Structures are given as structure tokens and as C-alpha cells.
Amino acid sequence: ELIHLLKYDQVRPASNVLGRMLAEAITDLAPSVGETSLLVVPVPLHPRKLRQRGFNQAELIARAALKLKPAGVQLTLESGILERRRQTQSQIGLSRHQRRENMRGAFAVTKPAELEGREVLLVDDVFTTGTTVSECARMLRRAGAARVWVATVARTLKVEATFALSEEEEESRLAMAAHG
């Protein structure tokens, strides 16, 4: 709900709460990263979407997290290192295959020299199938990043509803199935 408020209702203070969540995740990640400094790269929006929305929610969340100076790791925000080179359709409602096709070739690295041998923390708001962050990470690694970590503040889960049938309903359903 906070992400929806931020992205669609323009409630920017929601980024501070989401940033706090991200800062906690970064603190948990610190022992795995060690003494290495991380470049923090928000997943970019297409320039048209950025103009329309007025901000990049992943960048706002990353900035809010960095203000809290998560313990144990040195972080540098680098929002211009990755760009969305073509506009993609919304991922909402797309299958895994459609998402992959939608994202293929959508991102490009603008400053490969700054990535060479560096570890990157890629930040996005929501992780659904991982298609967006996978494509971004692929481009970052191809441009020379040593390792790419991914942090999101939300995960979409596919939930299938199951309903318990009464004994009578179950018998009726089985009888109908048996008789075609």
C-alpha cells in the first residue's frame, strides 16, 4: 500500500518509511558484503515516465535509506549509471515470458568505467518475477560490475485461493464429476 501511495498518489513521504525498510535490509546484507563499498543504483524509469510521475520511486527509496546511513557498509548513490533506453509497457498482469520480452534490451549502462570491478546494490520498489532486476543486473555485469546485489522493499506473491467445501458440497461435486 505504501508503494501504491508513493507511485500513484504522489505521497512522497511514503519513501521515507520504505527507505527505512531498505536501510534495515542493507544492514542485514553488510556481513555478506564485507568491507567493500557499494554503488547504489536505482532501477531507472524511462524519461517519459519520469517526466509524467515527477520522480523515480526507486531512487527516492534509495536516497531515504542512505540518509539513515545503514551500519556496516559504505554506500554511494549512482543514479545515472543505468538508463532505461526504451519505454516498456507496465508489467502488471504480464506472464513471466511476457515480462522477459518486455524488458529485453530496455536498459543500458551509461558509465561503464565507473562499474569496472565494483560491487553494486541494485534497488527497486517491487520484486515480482525478478525480470526487471535480472535484466538490469545482466547489463551491469556485462559492463564490468564484479557483483550485483538486489534489494527491493516489497515482494509480490502469487496466492491461489482455496476454499473449503462443506461435506455436502464435496459429495455433490464428486457426484457431478462421476456422472460427467
pLDDT tens-digit series, residues 136-160:
999 999 999 999 999 988 777 654 4
Residue of higher predicted confidence among 147 and 126: 147
> How does residue 96 score in pLDDT terms, banded at 50, 70 and 90?
confident
Q: What is the pLDDT of residue 165?
A: 47
Q: With 80 as the cut, is the pLDDT of residue 24 above it?
A: yes
DSSP 50-61: HHHHSS-HHHHH
Residue of higher predicted confidence among 28 and 4: 28
Range(s) of the domain holding residue 123? 2-178
Q: What is the pLDDT of residue 167?
A: 54
Mean pLDDT of 59-81: 89
Q: What is the pLDDT of residue 159?
A: 47
Kindly give, in sequence order, each residue whose CB lies less than 8 Å from that of residue 12, ignoring residues fewer than 6 positions away.
6, 55, 60
Residue type at 163 in one-letter notation: F
Q: With 60 as the cut, is the pLDDT of residue 41 above it?
A: yes
Residue 22 sits in a domain of what CATH number? 3.40.50.2020
If one counts the domains in the chain, the total is 1
Kindly give, in sequence order, each residue whose CB lies less than 8 Å from that of residue 159, ignoring residues fewer than 6 positions away.
none
Q: What is the pLDDT of residue 61?
A: 92
Q: Is the pTM here over 0.85, yes or no? A: no
